[in-house]
A = this chain, B = another copy of it.
Amino acid sequence: MPETTRRTDRFPGTRYGNRPTMKDVAARAGVGLKTVSRVVNGEPGVTAETERRVQEAIEALGFRRNDSARVLRKGRTASIGLVLEDLADPFYGPLSRAVEEVARAHGALLINGSSAEDADREQELVLALCARRVDGLVVIPAGDDHRYLEPEIKAGVATVFVDRPAGHIDADVVVSDNYGGAHDGVSHLIAHGHRRIGFIGDMPRIHTAAERLRGYRTAMEDAGIPVADSWMSLGVTDPERVRRAAREMLSGPEPVTAIFTGNNRVTVTVIRVLAEHTRPVALVGFDDIELADLLQPGVTVVAQDAAALGRTAAERLFRQLDGTLLAPERIELPTRLITRGSGELPPAD
Residues of chain A having any CB pair with chain B under 8 Å: 11, 13-19, 62, 64-69, 71-72, 74-77, 79, 86-90, 92-94, 96-97, 100, 104, 109-114, 127-133, 135, 150-152, 154-158, 268, 271-272, 275, 289-292, 294-296, 307, 321
Interface centre among A93, A94, A289, A296 (most CB of B within 10 A): A93
Check A88 against B93 for contact (C-beta < 8 Å): yes
From B19, B67, B90, B131, contact of A65 by CB (8 A): B131
Point out the residues of chain B lying under 8 angstroms from A87, CB to CB. 87, 93, 96-97, 100
Check B127 against A100 for contact (C-beta < 8 Å): no
Q: Nearest chain B CB to A64's CB is how many angstroms away?
A: 6
**Copies of this chain in the oligomer:** 2
From B11, B86, B94, B112, contact of A88 by CB (8 A): B94
From B66, B94, B295, contact of A294 by CB (8 A): B295
> Which residue of chain B is the closest to A128 with respect to CB atoms?
B109
Q: Nearest chain B CB to A320's CB is how many angstroms away?
A: 10
Check B155 against A132 for contact (C-beta < 8 Å): no
Interface centre among A69, A109, A296 (most CB of B within 10 A): A109
Whether A127 touches B68, Cβ cut-off 8 Å, given contacts A87-B93, A100-B87, A290-B291, is: no
Point out the residues of chain B lying under 8 angstroms from A96, CB to CB. 87-88
Whether A88 touches B79, Cβ cut-off 8 Å, given contacts A130-B64, A132-B67, is: no
Q: Nearest chain B CB to A16's CB is how many angstroms away?
A: 5
Check B113 against A66 for contact (C-beta < 8 Å): no
Interface centre among A13, A88, A90 (most CB of B within 10 A): A88
From B64, B110, B156, B292, contact of A111 by CB (8 A): B110
Check A69 against B66 for contact (C-beta < 8 Å): no
**Can you name 26 A-B pairs with beta carbons within 8 Å?**
A14-B74, A16-B75, A16-B156, A62-B151, A62-B155, A64-B131, A64-B151, A66-B72, A66-B131, A66-B133, A67-B133, A68-B68, A79-B111, A87-B100, A88-B97, A89-B93, A90-B93, A97-B114, A100-B113, A104-B113, A110-B112, A272-B294, A289-B291, A290-B290, A291-B291, A291-B292
From B19, B68, B268, contact of A72 by CB (8 A): B68
